[in-house]
A and B are shown apart, each in its own frame.
Chain A
Amino acid sequence: MNINWFKYSSPQTFYPLAGRMIPWFAWIAVIFAVIGLYISFFIAPTDFQQGEAYRIIFVHVPAAWMSMFIYMVMAGWAALGLSLNARLPAMMAQALAPTGAIFTLLALVTGSFWGKPMWGTWWVWDARLTSELILLFLYLGFIALQSSIDDPRKADKAGALLALVGVVNVPIIYFSVKWWNTLHQGSTISMGAAPKMVTTMLLGMLFMALAFWMYTIAVALMRVRCIMLERERASDWVKVLLLKATGGNA
């Protein structure tokens, strides 16, 4: 079991490896999404308080989970890139940011579309909503900062610092419903307590979250390949790659 991890940490070996992994994650995402949607709409019962409107939970909660989870993974890659002074982890962090931003936006908008019929308002400045909005700005700030610095290695370092400072916001989002009295309802699932909902509802959310997770891996791998090509287009491995795939798809 002697795997040479350093071999895979260079872009020229990771590029084709990522290319082979993408279809697998994409298909697993599709399968999980089909199961998740089926449970969400046909198995999970009507909520006795919220009627059918509650079904927004099956996109809202998984999107919100992913928005926080992707940020933590992104910050982890950024920290690794910073401490090892390595290219690939920094590229991974950069590849995750747009997907994280999309899930944050989806969590906010679907939350708004759930809040309107249930609370009677699209938006309130309460702790949960405000800290999630700050998360969106952190993602957008990270993307803007990286693209505003021409030297990619300097951009990686600046981005990593911003990502790491922003990590404090994630526990604030997570615990905001406990720490402050908010309009947002309490945690749907909390560690150490029995879930307050029907098992099928829980399963629907779980499968949707898994689908989003697999989707994120697939799309981030696609994006990291783009970043590699953009940054290293002058290097020999890209030339070799293009020669090998003349006429075909690289």
Chain B
Amino acid sequence: MSDDILLEVRGLRTVFDTRAGQVCAVDGVDVTVNRGECLGIVGESGSGKSVTFASVMGLVRSPGRIEAGEIVFDGTDLRKLSPRKMQALRGRDIAMTMQDALTALNPALTVGEQLAEMLEAHDDDLPRRRGARRAAIQARSVEMLTLVGIPSAGDRLRQYPHEFSGGMRQRIMIAIALASKPRLLIADEPTTALDVTIQAQVLELISKLRAELGMSVVLITHDLGVVAEHCDRVMVMYAGQVVEEGPTAQVIRDPRHPYTRGLLASIPRPALRGQPIRPIDGQVPDLVDLPPQCRFLDRCPEAGEACRHLIDMHPAGPARRARCIRIAVPETEKA
């Protein structure tokens, strides 16, 4: 494993047993996160983007389970760690923020208490003696809230989550996640619940902190615009699989998977006024008992007989891959 790689997931398969049958929410997903980079994960609801990273965090609970795959973080296979070691690592080395800050924060504890809980659990540099320890926690908490741009942090530590606005709550969750100085931050739809002017503030904050703290960020989102402006590389997921990955600018300029093309064409843009948008027909397939064929087949305008078998990822240029047989055909022969 190269020194530049912080997280490497190979062949991850996470399933949920339901009455209707086994749902394979994540099927053979590979993820590589390099040190210091921001990786964007794009997909629609049910594409498996959140479950992939819940698996990485060891947060998949019954009826879900990880069936196969390796999750190597900085040289350690997380699936082989004892629950206790995993507990120590989670939050300290890999932190996660959730989409809905109001449900993710504890409404009955003050923001200060929630920050302190995180520091108690993960900060080994705190002094042992009680008085000094409490003072250090207070100082670190103020420092964290100030870092995420919350004014008069000292007073606000004594307030409860409901006393903050949506954007402020998202900042608090980021402050808690970053309190232990993680090497990897997984931000699951950090701005989906926020208004655009507030979204811009929070995304700027994440980018700034990434640069300052030198951490890696995985940004899970359904918004290709967010990815275009903030991520170095992007992975597009569809129905539990990665269908395309590569450097963001290239993927957006020249998408190689028909689903990525469809997603880009679906975004309404003022520049396209008067022209019809070309939506992707149909809907995401039911993840129970998927037939062994390309999962995008039913919605794909380019599908043919050859797509009726399992499709692998194909190389699609330097550092790019796509799960489509058509990209194996050189551009010149396609026309």
A and B interact = no
List the interface of chain A (C-beta within 8 A of B). Answer: none
Where the two chains meet, the residues of B that have a C-beta atom closer than 8 Å to any C-beta of A are: none
